[in-house]
Amino acid sequence: MFKKFTKDDVHTRTNLKSSVSKTLKAKLIKQYPLLEDVVDDIIPKKVPITLFKCEDKIQLYVIDNQILFYQQFDDLIPELRIVHKYPEAFPRVQVDRGAIKFVLSGANIMCPGLTSAGAKLPDEDWPVDQIVTIYAEGKENAMAVGKLSMSINDIKTINKNTGVELYEYLGDGLWHFKAE
Amino acid sequence: MMIHNTIYCGICTLPVEFCEFGKTFKKCKLWLEDTNPEKFNNLYGSNVNNTSSLSSEKENQISSSLAKMQLKEERKQEREAENLKNSKILIKRIPRTKHKHIVAISNLEILGSDIDMKKIAKSFASKFATGSSVSKNAEKKDEIVIQGDVAEEVEEYLTALMKEKGIEVKIEHVTERFTNKKK
C-alpha cells in the first residue's frame, strides 16, 4: 500500500475534534484489547490528533508529527514504530530467513515462507482479514504489517499462494514519510 | 505493558538488526560500532552463532545476492557523487527594464530530494521583501524566480544552506545583457 508514498499523496490535513478522538480510542481498544492500559500514553488526552487524508482513501492519524495509526477501510493499522514500542499488543506471525529480502522489498508473503522450519504461526485459528505484524527468524523487531488473505488453518493446510497481503514494511514510503 | 525500546540505525533508519538487508550495510556497520559497541558485538561479534533453519547452500545464496545489491548501491552512490561534483547551480540575472532585474535560480533540485522549492521561494520572498515564485523554465524544469536584483544575497543564502547539509556544489552566475530590439 505504501510502496510509493510521498507528501504529494496527502490531500488535506485537519485537526480532529476531541469527541472523534474519543471514539478512535474506543475503537483502538476494541481492535487491540491489550492496548487498553497504554492507550493514554499513545494518545495523550490534551494533545490534538491530526488527520491526514491521502490518496486511495488512506487516512493517517498523526500526533506531534509522528504517524501512529492509519486506516484505509475499517481496520486501524498501527505504524511500525508503534509496533516496535508495544510488540506484545499485536498479533504476530514469523517468516523464515529466506523471505526477509522479499518482504523488505514489498512482496506479499507466500504460505511456504510462513510454514517452513524457521517460521512461526499461532496455534489457534485466525480469520481472514486479521491484521498481523510480521517478524523474521532471528530478528527481534517487527519488519512489516499485513492482512491475512487466508485463515491460519488454510495457510497450514493449503500452503500455496499468498498468505499475507503486505501493507507496510521497513523502509517503504510510509517509513520515510515525514509529517511536517 | 512495558515500552519496548528499539535502536534505529542512523544511516538507513531501520532497526539495527535489519541493516544487513539494507543497501548501505557497510556504512551502517561502521556507524553502529561508533555509537553502540555493545549492540555491535551482539549482532556482529565473533562469538555469534547463526541460528538459521536454512541450509548453508541457501544461506550462501542470500548473502551473495545481498552483497551484489550492496555493491550496486555503492556504485550508484559513487556515480551520484560524481554527478553532484560536475553539476552546478545557476543564478541568472535577467534585466526587466533599464534599472530593474529579476533573478532566476535553476538546478536547485540537485541539492537533494528533501528540498522543497516552494518553501525556499517563500523564504526568499520574506527575506528580501520581494515577489518570489516557482515556475517552469524553457527546459520544463522548476526554477525559482525572484523579482529584484538579489543575486549576491541568494548566493550567500545558498552557501549557508549547503554548509548546513554538508554538501558542496558550485554556484555559477550568469548575467543576461539587456537587448533593446525596438530601435
pLDDT of A121-145, one tens digit each?
888 888 888 899 999 888 888 899 9
Indicate whether B183 pLDDT > 60: no
The residue in chain A having the minimum alpha-carbon distance to the alpha carbon of residue B65 is A101
Q: Output the CA angle A177-A180-B4, nearest 5 degrees.
A: 60
Residue-averaged pLDDT of chain A: 87
Asked if B92 and B165 sit in the same domain, the reply is yes
Residues B39 and B66 occupy one common structural domain: yes
Same domain, B94 and B66: no
Residue B179 φ/ψ, nearest 5 degrees: -110, 115
The residue written with cell numbers 478522538 in the block is: A21
Q: Which residue has the higher pLDDT, B164 or A109?
A: A109
Query: The domain that contains B166 carries what CATH number?
Result: 3.30.780.10
Q: Residue B53 — very low, low, confident or very high, per pLDDT cuts 50/70/90? A: low
Where would I find the H helices in chain A? 18-31, 39-42, 80-85, 97-103, 111-115, 152-158, 173-176
Residue B2 lies in a domain: no
Same domain as B169, residue B92: yes
Domain boundaries A7-84, corresponding CATH code: 3.10.400.20
Predicted local distance difference test score (pLDDT) of residue A133: 92
Considering the domain architecture, whether residues B128 and B77 belong to the same structural domain is answered as: no
Q: Do A101 and B4 touch (CB under 8 A)?
A: no
Inter-residue contact B61 to A97 (CB < 8 Å) = no
End-to-end, the C-alpha distance of chain A in Å comes to: 21
Alpha-carbon span B160 to B164, nearest angstrom: 6
Which of A95, A96, A82 has its CA nearest to residue A166? A95
3-class state of residue B182 by DSSP: coil
Say whether pLDDT at B44 is over 50: yes
Is a pLDDT exceeding 60 seen at residue B50?
no
Backbone angles phi, psi at B145, to 5 degrees: -110, 125
pTM of the model: 0.74
Residue B178 has pLDDT above 80, yes or no: no
Q: Are residues A124 and A156 in contact, defined by beta-carbon separation less than 8 angstroms?
A: no
Residue at B79: amino acid letter? R
What are the residues of chain A with a beta carbon less than 8 Å away from any beta carbon of chain B?
A: 34-35, 37-38, 41, 81, 84-89, 96-98, 100-101, 104, 116-118, 137-141, 143, 170-171, 175-176
pLDDT of residue A28: 87
The hierarchical CATH code for the domain A87-169 is 3.10.400.20
**Least CB-CB distance to B66: which of A89, A101, A176?**
A101
Domain extent for B96:
88-175
Does residue B147 lie within any of the structural domains?
A: yes
Residue A145: predicted pLDDT: 92
B121 and B145 part of one domain: yes
Shared domain for B104 and B115, answered yes or no, is yes
Mean pLDDT, residues A20-41 taken together: 86
If asked whether residues B24 and B78 sit together in one domain, one would say yes
3 state SS of B80: helix
**Tens digit of each residue's pLDDT (9 = 90 or more) over A74-120:** 888 999 888 888 888 888 899 888 888 888 888 898 888 888 887 88
pLDDT at B49: 55
Q: What is the pLDDT of residues A140-170, one digit of tens each?
A: 888 999 999 988 888 888 888 888 899 999 8
Q: Do A98 and B62 touch (CB under 8 A)?
A: yes
Residues in Cβ contact with B19 at an 8 Å cutoff, skipping those fewer than 6 apart: B9, B11, B12, B25, B28, B29, B32
Q: From the CA of A86, how many Å to the nearest CA of chain B? A: 6
Verify that B165 and B94 share a domain, yes or no. yes
Smallest Cβ–Cβ distance between A84 and the set B6, B58, B62 belongs to B6
Tens-digit pLDDT profile for residues B4-21: 788 888 888 888 888 888
Residue of A58, A153, A57, A165 lying closest to A109 (CA atoms): A165
Give the relative orientation of helices B151-165 and B117-128 as an angle to the nearest 10 degrees. 130
Residue ending a domain, among B85, B100, B135, is B85
| Cα–Cα distance, B168 to B88 (Å, whole number) | 9
Highest mean pLDDT among A49-53, B98-102, B166-170: A49-53
Nearest to B67 by CA among B99, B113, B33, B21: B21
SS3 breakdown of chain B: % helix, strand, coil, rounded to 5?
Answer: 50, 20, 35
